[in-house]
Structure 1
Amino acid sequence: MPQQQAGQAHSVDIDEYNSTAVALPELPLHELFTAQAGRTPDAGALLCGEVELTYRQLDVASDGFAHRLVAAGVRPGDRVGLFLDRSLAYVVAMLGVLKAGGVYVPLDARQPVERLGWMLRDTGAVLLVTDRREGGTDFAGELPVVRVDAEIAAADGELVPLGFSLSPDQAAYVMYTSGSSGTPKGVVNTHRNVVELALDPWWSGSGARHRRVLAYSPLAFDSSTYELWVPLLSGGLAVILPAAKIDLGEIADAITRFDVTAAYFTTALFDAMAHEAVDSLGHLEEIWTGGDVLSRTALEKVLAHCPGTTVVHAYGPTESTVFCSYQVFATDTRTVERLHLGVPMANTAMYVLDERLCPTRPGEPGELYVAGSHLAAGYLGRPALTAERFSANPYGPPGSRMYRTGDLARWNQHGEIEFLGRADQQVKLRGFR
């Protein structure tokens, strides 16, 4: 099928729009992190309060925890629940699970205990890692529990890496999102998915603006993937806010006190920050915001009050590993002519298709599909739903897939994709669909 849409006063060259091919490393996450630690062993990797962990310290500590997990029975491909607050210990545990060949399953303490227990059973987790004391993990039932504290990050000396040979297409984590029915769906994201996100050329090509990234998102939200892996695979620093509940004042204070250079905000939080703490946003070199419809008023206020800050309007469901496209308002762009989905990230393609999976004409609404290396493997244990939402991509190379987002969109006269809303009328509440 021709990829140039014509027949109106303008046309869209879909092939050109989706010309995003970039060669990126095909290695598992922990190997890329260890390689980065070898290049910058004494640079700060994590900062939590007044405690900093260097790349070498994080590498050694996570090696030690990986050995502990293997001794506890974790084998390659096993899923391990992580029930920890934001802390140095969480990142050590996360890396340790990957180094042991496992798959981490972050659990949100704000969820009902019945749902947490269901998630552990649904994933077939073999172990739960937690910083809670006895009695705080009754939802795990008979599942073995490994309890950790701050000492997990205090490993010294040298440890021999386990050296498991993992495919980049092996699962790295399972993250749950709820659909319109309210039934949780475990999205399986692979090492390749996260590497493609974290090493996208935008981060390195934007003047190292992501060298000190604010890490405050709930660990079971996919934005935490950006907050941790983007800095950790490029020699940057993740600035962790440990409090379970964080208000606007604490975020604003952390930005200035810890010299944060980049952060992601949901559109709701971006709106609140724009109206109540806009001065703090001016200390950031780059802001990413997404997750829902962006307020034009809030965006214009930030652009006007923060002349040195690049603002990026991002789009992407959990199934596409945090972000799949972005619209940039650089420091030389302080006006908002229109909001759209921007351009696809590296190795990503986007299509607006009708019910027959044919490209719509410019101006005609259709459903948005996303393809490329950001696409998750599917939904854990739900092959029928996976087959329904992840289908063969008729416009890509043989064997490629595309994801049906459930979002309505259209091409505009400028060759940009505009978001029109949900096809199924879902709404978002506190980040959940």
Structure 2
Amino acid sequence: MKAQGSAMLTAPERTDPSSTGLPETPPTPVVRAWFVHERFAAFAASSPGGIAIEDSRHRLSYRQALDWADALADRLRAEGVGPEQVVGIHLDRSAEAVVTMLAVLRCGAAYLALPPEYPEDRLRFMVRDSGARVVVTGDAGLPAGLADLAVAVPVGRPETSPRPASAIAPAVVRPANLAYVIYTSGTTGLPKGVGVTHANVANLVGEAQRYVRFGADETFLQLSPLAFDPSAVEIWGALAHGSRLVIAAPSYSAVDELPSVLAEKRITTLGLTPPLFHSIIEKRPEALDGIRQIMVGGDILSAAKSRVYVDRAVGRGVPATLMNVYGPTECATFVSAQSMAEVPAETTRVPVGPPIAGAGLYLLDEELRPVGLGEHGEVYIGGKPVTRGYLDRPGLTAERFLPDPFGTEPGARMYATGDEGVLDERGVVAVIGRLDRQVKVRGHRIELSELEHTLRLHPDVRDACVLLADAGSPREQLVAHIAVAPGAADDVTARLAAHAAAALPAYMCPGRYVVHQQLPLTHTGKVDRKLLAEWTDTGPAAGSTGGGTPSEPLTAAEELLTAIWRKNFESEAIGPDDDFSALGGTSILAIGIVADAQDAGLPLTLVMHYKNPTVRRAAAALATASDRGTSDE
């Protein structure tokens, strides 16, 4: 059985481009290679002067980028890099990082992003676990904790003279070889590496896809962190089709600069997380008016806010596409896409949409049988997006990657997502939650058990339970409930915050800690998570002064900013000296605070906000900037 009226959706039902409202992508006769790095090289040969990669320091043509990549590939090969080997990239989001990815693929190897802002212990684990013997780095070199694990290869500088066409012989690479590795949160307390193949990438951004239009006249913005799988769509969706790739700043200033970058760089194709999309629509909807293709994925998308973008485009009489995209890292980023132009604003369960070309989307019961209309089941994914599995974890791979009874290829497998779905009256799947304890925080996938494991390693902790509070709102944050050990220090919450920050990426750290002598239990002796989710006696976040009467009178700017902070945090227990991060502040809350401040006449920017993370410091910075005639304090 297949849709409609079935829980099995397969790609052949999606071959008509008119079903997405997009024009059919014209063929590209010059580029027919299977691998994305070969497609890049073909454009370097056919359109050498076309701009490929642009950031704040570089503007590289396809030929210049390829020459730089090949020079780096020579150095990597000298270190023995080849197929099925993993090469770390310890670089910020930048032209250098993308060129390095290209160089690694030209060697036949697989790349692994190692974000410089990650804690050193986590980077060490990723390097050891992946078997990366070589790491490409910038001028600063490798941190001391990595220097003893891998050989550092400098990324170098753009080549100043063209290289002979025969200077580098392409590595012998097969579709089943690894292209890149991405680490996701793990239930055992340790992250796990997902091995994505060249065949997976080729399907994701291949010419058969219609979830967005790929082509040389598109300009993609590379905004996703390099350690997250949407970056593959941004980078190779652009560079495998002769498009221009504009790379956002590597820090929080990327969000601050987003409206101006979208306009100045004439971005046509953009990927966003739902929280960021929602915030822009609420605060600055005009910033997206020039974008004709937007992919939103990683969490639940609001149909009402999507309608604002669609209606603005219709009102201007311009073609625009907004796609709700769905898929896990284990299935190479996206496996389905729903055009939001087809979804009414009052829809409460936005469907994940039909599968992309090459993908299969199944909603199955516990016996792996398709469910009927209105019934619930687990979402399974089959077809070409299914990745190799978890690096060196055959048991976990076998548990989650099962034989696909609906597949047509020998040895076909399907991935058990753990997502709970329901089949609506049209035979379309809508994801309604999780069947396990995995959560999404501002688009980032997190296994709560990994956080709990990390917190339990602290000597002051007897037990820990982490929950997601205010899910889907700008105040969304992780709350850690802690049962403290006898004799725990008075400043245990500050100690735990420092402990988490030293072991986990910032997006995984709890924003609030609640101390208990003992965690509440159910009648079966398990932690009562339902009771903790309803717990109201949370007290102030670490770093909060609890509001109250300030010791010094507030200036007019301080009073205004305090009111804005309290509005966005939805809490009166905030004082002028409370630290934004310690309160559990997020990038989405920061956008709201800055937008409200600007609407009130204060020239606050995100850069200024993050450099001055209290009301009193922000007000002082505004006063100083006013005296100097600047806004970058």
After the TM superposition, which of the residue ranges 212-221 and 200-209 deviates more from structure 2?
Answer: 200-209
Please name the residue that 1:387 is paired with.
398
> Given the alignment, which residue of 404, 407, 418 partners 2:416?
404
Within 5 Å, which residues of 2 pair with 1:10-409? 11-12=5-6, 14=8, 19=13, 27-49=34-56, 51-134=58-141, 136-149=143-156, 151-152=157-158, 154=160, 156-159=162-165, 160-202=167-209, 206=213, 208=215, 211-307=218-314, 308=318, 309-330=320-341, 335-336=344-345, 338=347, 339-397=350-408, 398-409=410-421
Q: CA deviation at 1:271?
A: 1.1
- Aligned pair count reads 424
Q: Indicate the SS of the match to 1:186.
A: strand
Q: Indicate the SS of the match to 1:410.
A: strand
Change (3 A) 1:132 1:112: farther
Change (3 A) 1:56 1:280: same
CA distance in 2, matches of 1:298, 1:123: 40
Please name the residue that 2:597 is paired with.
none
* C-alpha distance after superposition, 1:185-236 (max 9, x if no partner): 1000001111111115345973849710001211101111011000111110
Q: Indicate the SS of the match to 1:201.
A: coil
Q: CA RMSD in A?
A: 2.5
Change (3 A) 1:428 1:254: same
8 A Cα contact 1:18 1:350, kept in partner: no
CA distance in 2, matches of 1:191, 1:28: 6
CA distance in 2, matches of 1:224, 1:4: 32
* C-alpha distance after superposition, 1:256-307 (max 9, x if no partner): 0100001000111111111122111011011000101112332122223343
8 A Cα contact 1:20 1:348, kept in partner: no
CA distance in 2, matches of 1:40, 1:68: 26
Q: CA deviation at 1:102?
A: 1.2
8 A Cα contact 2:200 2:386, kept in partner: yes
Change (3 A) 1:15 1:405: closer
Larger Cα-atom Rg: 2
Structure with greater strand share of residues: 1
Q: CA deviation at 1:156?
A: 3.1
8 A Cα contact 1:248 1:277, kept in partner: no
After the TM superposition, which of the residue ranges 218-227 and 321-330 deviates more from structure 2?
Answer: 321-330
Change (3 A) 1:212 1:31: same
After the TM superposition, which of the residue ranges 235-244 and 175-184 deviates more from structure 2?
Answer: 175-184
8 A Cα contact 2:8 2:370, kept in partner: no
8 A Cα contact 1:390 1:404, kept in partner: yes
After the TM superposition, which of the residue ranges 267-276 and 421-430 deviates more from structure 2?
Answer: 421-430
8 A Cα contact 1:25 1:195, kept in partner: no
CA distance in 1, matches of 2:50, 2:216: 16
Change (3 A) 1:155 1:198: farther
8 A Cα contact 1:65 1:152, kept in partner: no
* C-alpha distance after superposition, 1:61-99 (max 9, x if no partner): 211111111112223222111010122211111111111
Does residue 425 of structure 2 align to residue 413 of structure 1? yes
Aligned sequence identity (%) = 34
* C-alpha distance after superposition, 1:25-49 (max 9, x if no partner): 6733322221232232221111112
Q: CA deviation at 1:413?
A: 0.9
8 A Cα contact 1:371 1:401, kept in partner: yes
After the TM superposition, which of the residue ranges 244-253 and 315-324 deviates more from structure 2?
Answer: 244-253
Q: Indicate the SS of the match to 1:340.
A: coil
Change (3 A) 1:107 1:246: same
Superposition TM-score, scaled by structure 2 size: 0.63
Greater RCO (CA < 8 Å, at least 6 residues apart): 1
Q: Indicate the SS of the match to 1:114.
A: helix
CA distance in 2, matches of 1:327, 1:163: 38
Q: Indicate the SS of the match to 1:94.
A: helix
* C-alpha distance after superposition, 1:408-429 (max 9, x if no partner): 1121111211111111132122
8 A Cα contact 1:84 1:132, kept in partner: no
Please name the residue that 1:424 is paired with.
436
* C-alpha distance after superposition, 1:350-400 (max 9, x if no partner): 100011101111111000000011111000010000001101001112311
CA distance in 2, matches of 1:173, 1:96: 12
CA distance in 2, matches of 1:218, 1:249: 16
CA distance in 1, matches of 2:351, 2:270: 21
Q: Indicate the SS of the match to 2:257.
A: helix
CA distance in 1, matches of 2:121, 2:10: 48
8 A Cα contact 2:6 2:370, kept in partner: no
8 A Cα contact 2:12 2:357, kept in partner: no
8 A Cα contact 2:11 2:356, kept in partner: no
Kindly provide the amino acid, as one letter, of the partner of residue 277 in structure 1: R
CA distance in 1, matches of 2:176, 2:340: 34
Superposition TM-score, scaled by structure 1 size: 0.91
8 A Cα contact 2:303 2:343, kept in partner: no
Kindly provide the amino acid, as one letter, of the partner of residue 114 in structure 1: D
- Could you tell me which runs of 5 or more consecutive residues in structure 1 were left unpaired when the two chains were aligned: none
Kindly provide the amino acid, as one letter, of the partner of residue 411 in structure 1: L
Q: Indicate the SS of the match to 2:360.
A: strand
Kindly provide the amino acid, as one letter, of the partner of residue 100 in structure 1: C
Change (3 A) 1:56 1:70: same
8 A Cα contact 1:303 1:334, kept in partner: no
After the TM superposition, which of the residue ranges 242-251 and 339-348 deviates more from structure 2?
Answer: 242-251
Please name the residue that 2:487 is paired with.
none
After the TM superposition, which of the residue ranges 183-192 and 100-109 deviates more from structure 2?
Answer: 100-109
Change (3 A) 1:279 1:341: same
